[in-house]
């Protein structure tokens, strides 16, 4: 269901009538495996962290590597990568729990880095999440044993340590208050201030009729549709690649007057049976892989039980990877990591076919 761009010499799938095309896929035996991916806010570039510790810049026009921007220690794989929403910061973390923050600048018409602003290491536990504040004044570095806040302008940081957490979690920016962030677990949401992380100023119980248990993994949390919707993606402990539950909340639940408990929007209750993996969102549209491995989308404001499917990912792409990495850029290109390379799927949204949830 995807064809190769005519300018590319290596075929990745059979020609099909859909208009979606792929650039970037080629054969290179010396290439290093890509282990993390982040999209630049412009949509023109993506950043790829690799198994050898390199962080490289790729063009979404060609799907090819432009340059290696910087490196961690040789042979220490990049495990997490995040680009700031204002486009001028990037942070990467490696398997040794060292993380680097760099400032992004434009030199000779291309992106480059200056710094590092921060070069530090968290001892004792692997880094599980990196998250910039909305104004990019703060950086959250989260591990199983601690949450760490770094002030990016003055270098100060604070740390909260734990014996060991008994449930999975993800942090996200508060949808209406840039001075706050929210910790999401399977059972509750806890609001904190960026400059005072040590205490939660409000907690809300999450109530749902779905069989969501404390030992499930919070796979992803995303603010969508101009921050009016909060999407929480869950996975089973033994199969963290596949989405098992999928909840969507109105973010008005986090505004005054705040209730003691919140419930997901019932109109999306059957959607979880169709979602294999959350890709991302642009504007009011949410993008995901369905169970048949089609790239799909829906309008979060007008959804009434029908979503659209656009193009199918070839089976052989999945067999090449141990970890599914698929994201959407600001230009509505889809970026699929195919072990040592990236495939840029263009014009995927030109084809639309309705799928009924029930």
State whether 140 and 222 are in the same domain: yes
State whether 59 and 197 are in the same domain: yes
Contacts of 261 (CB under 8 A, 6+ apart): 204, 205, 206, 207
Q: What is the pLDDT of residues 168-189, one digit of tens each?
A: 899 999 998 999 999 999 889 9
Please tell me the least confidently modeled range out of 26-40, 82-96, 222-236, 238-252: 238-252
| End residue of a domain, out of 253, 277, 301 | 277
C-alpha 12/C-alpha 22 separation (Å) is: 8
State whether 31 and 136 are in the same domain: yes
- Alpha helix (H) ranges present in the chain? 315-319
| End residue of a domain, out of 223, 248, 277 | 277
State whether 247 and 313 are in the same domain: no
72 or 159, greater pLDDT: 72
Query: Residues of the chain with pLDDT > 70: what percent?
Result: 90
- pLDDT band at 4, cuts 50/70/90? very low
- Structural domain span for residue 350: 278-358
Burial of 163 (0-12, 13-18, 19+ CB in 10 A): exposed
* Residue 227 · residue 242 · CB < 8 Å: no
Contacts of 336 (CB under 8 A, 6+ apart): 313, 317, 325, 326, 342, 343, 345
* Residue 288 · residue 276 · CB < 8 Å: yes
- Provide the sign of the torsion angle of the four alpha carbons 342, 343, 344, 345, taken in this order: negative
What pLDDT does residue 9 have? 37
State whether 303 and 262 are in the same domain: no
C-alpha 166/C-alpha 128 separation (Å) is: 15
213 or 35, greater pLDDT: 35
CATH of the domain at 25: 2.130.10.10
- Provide the sign of the torsion angle of the four alpha carbons 27, 28, 33, 37, taken in this order: negative
Closest CA to 184 of 247, 272, 273, 274: 247
State whether 46 and 191 are in the same domain: yes
Q: What is the pLDDT of residues 5-64, one digit of tens each?
A: 544 434 334 444 456 888 877 656 678 999 999 999 999 999 999 999 999 999 999 999
In this structure, what are the phi and psi dihedrals at residue 317, rounded to the nearest 5 degrees? -65, -40
Please tell me the total count of domains within the chain.
2
In this structure, what are the phi and psi dihedrals at residue 253, rounded to the nearest 5 degrees? -65, -20
State whether 264 and 294 are in the same domain: no
C-alpha 238/C-alpha 221 separation (Å) is: 19
- pLDDT band at 239, cuts 50/70/90? low
What pLDDT does residue 73 have? 96
Which contacts (CB < 8 Å, 24+ apart) does range 228-232 have?
228/175, 228/252, 228/300, 228/301, 229/265, 229/300, 230/172, 230/175, 230/254, 231/278, 231/281, 231/286, 232/170, 232/184
| End residue of a domain, out of 247, 277, 307 | 277
State whether 262 and 337 are in the same domain: no
Angle ∠(268,301,194) on CA atoms, nearest 5: 85
Both tokens assigned to 87: 């486009």
Beta strand 229-236 with 239-250 is: antiparallel
C-alpha 84/C-alpha 136 separation (Å) is: 7
State whether 248 and 311 are in the same domain: no
Could you give the C-alpha distances from 2 to 28, 127, 289, 315, 345, in angstroms and in order?
A: 21, 36, 15, 11, 8
End-to-end CA distance of the chain: 25
State whether 107 and 168 are in the same domain: yes
State whether 213 and 318 are in the same domain: no
């Amino acid at each position: 269901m995807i064809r190769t761009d005519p300018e590319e010499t290596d075929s990745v799938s059979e020609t099909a009538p859909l208009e979606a095309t792929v650039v970037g896929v080629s054969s290179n035996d010396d290439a290093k495996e890509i282990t993390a991916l982040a999209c630049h806010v412009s949509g023109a570039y993506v950043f790829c962290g690799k198994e050898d510790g390199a962080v490289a810049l790729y063009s979404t026009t060609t799907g090819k590597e432009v340059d290696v921007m910087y490196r961690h220690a040789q042979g220490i794989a990049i495990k997490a990568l995040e680009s700031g929403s204002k486009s001028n910061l990037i942070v990467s973390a490696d398997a040794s729990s060292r993380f680097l923050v760099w400032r992004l600048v434009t030199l000779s018409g291309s992106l480059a880095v200056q710094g590092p602003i921060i070069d530090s290491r968290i001892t004792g536990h692997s880094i599980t999440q990196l998250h910039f504040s909305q104004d990019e004044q703060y950086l959250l570095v989260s591990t199983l044993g601690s949450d760490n806040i770094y002030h990016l302008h003055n270098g100060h940081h604070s740390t909260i340590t734990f014996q060991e957490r008994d449930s999975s979690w993800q942090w996200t920016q508060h949808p209406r208050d840039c001075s706050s962030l929210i910790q999401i677990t399977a059972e509750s949401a806890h609001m904190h201030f960026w400059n005072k992380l040590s205490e939660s100023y409000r907690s809300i119980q999450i109530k749902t009729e779905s069989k969501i248990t404390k030992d499930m993994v919070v796979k992803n949390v995303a603010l969508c549709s101009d921050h009016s919707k909060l999407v929480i993606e869950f996975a089973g402990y033994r199969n963290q690649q596949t989405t098992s539950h999928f909840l969507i909340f109105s973010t008005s639940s986090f505004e005054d007057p705040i209730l003691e408990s919140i419930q997901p929007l019932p109109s999306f209750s059957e959607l979880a049976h169709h979602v294999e993996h959350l890709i991302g969102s642009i504007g009011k549209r949410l993008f995901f892989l369905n169970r048949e491995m089609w790239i799909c989308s829906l309008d979060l404001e007008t959804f009434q039980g029908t979503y659209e499917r656009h193009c199918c990912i070839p089976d052989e792409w999945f067999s090449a990877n141990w970890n599914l990495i698929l994201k959407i850029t600001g230009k509505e290109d889809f970026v699929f990591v195919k072990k040592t390379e990236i495939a840029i799927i263009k014009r995927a949204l030109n084809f639309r076919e309705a799928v009924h949830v029930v």
